[in-house]
Amino acid sequence: MTSTNKKSPLGPLMVDVGGQELTAEDREILTHPLVGGVILFTRNYRDHEQLKALCDDILSLREPRLLLAVDHEGGRVQRLRVGFTRIPSMRSIGARYVENPAAAIEQARIAGLTIGCELSAFGIDLCFAPVLDVDHGVSGVIGDRAFSDRGEVVIELARALRAGLNAAGLAATGKHFPGHGAVRADSHVELPVDRRPQAELRAVELKPFMAMIDEGIESLMMAHVRYTAIDETPASLSRRWIRGILRRELGFTGAVFCDDLSMGGAAVVGDLAARARLALAAGCDMLPVCNDRPGVIALLDALKDLKPSRAASSRLQKLYRRSVAS
């Protein structure tokens, strides 16, 4: 591994760290030219003072600084809990919408604002939300993370949650493009396959993403799902999905995140290096690689001749949290 000079573009890899303080190995990895972001987990948190010191340390390592993220959707996907507001599941907000749409929309906005305010206090840029998947009642891994089984409700509540995040200075990341809610398999352990016709995918799954793209959502995360009517390659690694449909057809100009390359849904194409090369060729800007330090080290060596993209780095830097007047 080699360290970066301070002015090089952000690299395409988002990695994690093992503890509550940075080790010498962490520092070497986080200053590598191919690294551009850090994702935090529950293990990285002891208390507010420790977390702030850790985040400050990470953010001081290089210029442009690393992008700092945590999965913090609410419900069962909320890495930081002790001392943080517990955010309800998105399904519970969607259920409230049936009874009182205005109250549910406000609840979604307040959830986004709360997440944004609490995370930005530590220097965190992204919470990887909102979930834009439509719940078809079959996906256990999505399930109550989705707002609703109705696309129009997903759009209304995702719009409100994004507004709350933006008001607190955070960008939003819609996921999992082009829609993970209609497949039973869990992409963490295997590759789900969606065999529905293209017309149905476009009429149902793409609608929330299209609406949020039209409204300028800042970033999207891809799904490790194969949609056989479009491409045999998983969407997260597919040029047709990313460069073709997402970029050219839908006109998305924001940052594109792959889902975690350590997941089983990506493993069908080969080792981490093969997955990373496919994801980058397909058009992903940033590739999370989580909970696999030996894999990260091997990947940095395997990709040592890769030059970080200045265009991708520019898109990623637009996701830095903004200062908001109180």
Cite the active site residues.
Answer: 188, 259
- For every residue of 256-324, DSSP letters joined together read EEPPPTTSGGGGGG-SHHHHHHHHHHHT-SBEE--S-HHHHHHHHHHTTTPPPPHHHHHHHHTTS----
Contacts with 292 (C-beta within 8 Å, 6 or more apart), sequence order = 262, 272
Instruction: Establish whether the linkage from the previous residue to 294 is cis, with ω within 30° of 0.
Output: no
Q: Are the beta carbons of 133 and 142 closer than 8 angstroms?
A: yes
- Residues 51, 118, 135, 182, Cα dihedral to 10°: -30
- For every residue of 73-101, DSSP letters joined together read EETTEES--TTSPPPPPHHHHHHHHHH-H
Tokens of 73: 């959707």
Q: Is 86 annotated as a binding residue?
A: no
Q: How far apart are CA 251 and CA 244, in angstroms?
A: 10
Q: How far apart are CA 68 and CA 127, in angstroms?
A: 9
Q: Is 176 annotated as a binding residue?
A: yes
Residue among 76, 67, 70 at smallest CA distance from 43: 70
77-78 and 72-74 beta bridge pairing: antiparallel
Q: How far apart are CA 292 and CA 183, in angstroms?
A: 26
Q: If DSSP codes are grouped into helix, strand and coil, which group holds residue 247? A: helix
With the C-alpha atoms ordered 230, 235, 241, 246, is the resulting torsion angle positive or negative?
Answer: positive
Q: Is 71 annotated as a binding residue?
A: yes
Please give the annotated binding residues for substrate, written as ranges: 71, 79, 145, 175-176
Please give the annotated binding residues, written as ranges: 71, 79, 145, 175-176
